Structure 1
Amino acid sequence: MSNPTALSRPGGFFRTAVAVLVAEAIVLIVAFVLAPGRLAAHGSGMDSLDQDDLRTGFRAEFDEYRRTDEADFSTGLDTIVDYWFRYHLAKAVIATLLLLVFAMLSVLVWRAFSTLDTPPVRGTFAFVGGGALATICATASLIILMANIQGTVAPFASLLPMLTGDDAQGQHADTLDRLRQQLDHRASTGERASPALEAVISDFTRYHSAMAVLATIAAILAIGVGVWCRVKGRTTSTVGQFRRAMTALAMFFGLAAVGLIVVAVANTSTVAHPIPALQAVFEGGW
């Protein structure tokens, strides 16, 4: 791609760069919706599954897994978990590309806005609106990326919500009842549960550990970007509209950092005390 400094000036190159990045974003969004299932099926030994098929298959394999009372997954359960790992990995890769595209688009628009001496009202609305939209989309892409990295790190735990629901019947309902009883006993006595349930607890802990780390990193990143926006607004341009836009962005990233810190603390608490959170999962919460 061409030099970003040259592209930052509103004109032919700027419009072309924006058009290319928007087109790339649209392609990636379509790929994010359509491609992960097909990519996950490739090499996993499974066909691309819809949510209902995946839930049905996972419940059946999990019921069998619990009855064997072993920590190692059965072949069928291992295949489903591998599929879910590949599914989240594909989404994480696409989300990373989306984050890069929207971040580049955001920087491009804000930088172009900063070069204007006296932007007209329409131009101000266009740049502020476009920059804000690109920034929000970049933030959303980061959140999606975090969620899918979490699912990649602990795919088994990310499947657990599929076990619960009002449609649990017969053998599967019995499995849930036994798991709740074992968790209650584990919580009250502190004794280790069956190997299968200990594997569930271990992966569930890893799942929340991943988000605690990711949220902490993202919070630090948000604070850094917020400070950069504040400094940029004060030093780059004398245009009042640009300064106010940068101040608003700094506040946005400050609030985002606060939210991410809350997420990090909540997940750290779950890591320290996984049993109550896991009990909530098997009661239908998450």
Structure 2
Amino acid sequence: MAHAVDARRRGAGGSAPVWAAVAAAAGVGFVIAPSFVVGDPYGAGITGGRRLAVAATGAVDGFLGSHAATVSGPLADLTDYWSQYHWVKVVFAIAAVVALVALGRRLVATAAPTSTRAARVWWAVVGGALSLAVVAASLLAVANVQGALAPLSSALSLLPDESTRAAAGGVMSRGATDPAVATLISDFGRYHAVLAVSLGVVVAAFAAVAVVATRRVRRADRGGRRRPMVGASAVVFAVATLALGVVVAANIGTAVDPEPALRLFFTG
């Protein structure tokens, strides 16, 4: 029986380097793949982005000057591209989450007794670091879902500096009676609603993980590395749940009444 357990541990542990490699590849792909998959007409790659900022400034100014309710022309082209760009990032961010979770599960599955306090501290650090990486990758996925589903408001972040935003935001004085301003306000509400919903799902998942991890800590062998790894994960996901829950609540409020937040974005 002991030999069977050892064999299972070796088999599970043997895939840990593979999952680590997949997570690393997903991280690299997250950075460089969008420009290759959807093209790079605006110079949005890792080497720059200045042309993208210039294009965004002209497109937003043109739209606001059109007084039109429907996004068209250069801004429509930019937002279509920006949405596709973010969807590619979503795929790689989710791949990273899956790989990191699988890596953590493999390490826990191969838990072996630890003889020293230093070893237990080390495995707590490993568990905490992996959990933080999962949280970070999940947030990247959420942020890019937001950009993909509400690319108009996401494109506003491309405006290069505060003075440019303030100049564009001068039209906010026209209020929602102007069709272009009304479109911006509506999309800004959608932008924050998407974040509230998608992040809310992630927060619920984090809360569930924290609860399950806490229960497993209580049942884990005090002398094994499973206890410090899972314990550190429980702490990380519990803190993330509380902190991100506040962000969800704030975005719900902005989604309900987006105009003041949009004005603040433009005026700084």
Q: Distance in 1 between matches of 2:114 and 2:158?
A: 53
Q: Distance in 1 between matches of 2:87 and 2:194?
A: 14
Decide which moves more: 68-77 or 136-145. Answer: 68-77
Decide which moves more: 158-167 or 101-110. Answer: 158-167
Distance change >3 Å, CA 104–CA 162, structure 1 → 2: same
Q: CA deviation at 1:137?
A: 1.0
Q: Distance in 2 between matches of 1:222 and 1:274?
A: 27
In the comparison of the two structures, how many residue pairs are matched? Answer: 260
Match of 2:171 among 161, 164, 178: 178
Gap runs ≥5 in structure 2: none
Specify the code of the residue in structure 2 equivalent to 1:81. Answer: T
Paired position in structure 1 for 2:210: 226
1:119-167 CA-to-partner distances (Å, cap 9, x unmatched) read: 2336535533333322221111101111111111101101112336245
Instruction: After TM superposition, list the pairs within 5 Å mapping 1:120-269 onto structure 2.
Output: 120-121=115-116, 123-163=119-159, 165-166=161-162, 168=164, 174-179=167-172, 181-182=173-174, 186=175, 192-239=176-223, 242-269=226-253
Gap runs ≥5 in structure 1: 187-191
Q: CA deviation at 1:48?
A: 4.4
1:29-71 CA-to-partner distances (Å, cap 9, x unmatched) read: 11111111222328xxx35434211110011112111122111
Q: CA deviation at 1:173?
A: 6.3
* Structure 2 counterpart SS, 1:119: coil
Q: CA deviation at 1:111?
A: 2.4
Paired position in structure 2 for 1:98: 96
Equivalent residues of 1:205, 1:270 under 8 A apart: yes
* Structure 2 counterpart SS, 1:214: helix
1:195-228 CA-to-partner distances (Å, cap 9, x unmatched) read: 1111111111011001111222122111110111
Q: Distance in 1 between matches of 2:160 and 2:27?
A: 30
1:96-133 CA-to-partner distances (Å, cap 9, x unmatched) read: 000000010111112222xx2x3233653553333332
Match of 2:109 among 105, 108, 111: 111
* Structure 1 counterpart SS, 2:209: helix
Paired position in structure 1 for 2:73: 75
Higher relative contact order (CA 8 A, sep 6+): 2
Distance change >3 Å, CA 7–CA 167, structure 1 → 2: farther
Q: Distance in 2 between matches of 1:22 and 1:105?
A: 6
Decide which moves more: 84-93 or 69-78. Answer: 69-78
Distance change >3 Å, CA 47–CA 136, structure 1 → 2: same
Paired position in structure 2 for 1:32: 30
Superposition CA RMSD, Å = 2.4
Distance change >3 Å, CA 20–CA 248, structure 1 → 2: closer
TM-score (norm 1): 0.82
Q: Distance in 2 between matches of 1:7 and 1:166?
A: 60
Taking only the aligned residue pairs, the percentage that are identical comes to 26
* Structure 2 counterpart SS, 1:73: coil
Paired position in structure 2 for 1:86: 84
Q: Distance in 2 between matches of 1:219 and 1:133?
A: 18
Q: CA deviation at 1:75?
A: 2.1
Equivalent residues of 1:7, 1:17 under 8 A apart: no
Q: CA deviation at 1:244?
A: 4.6
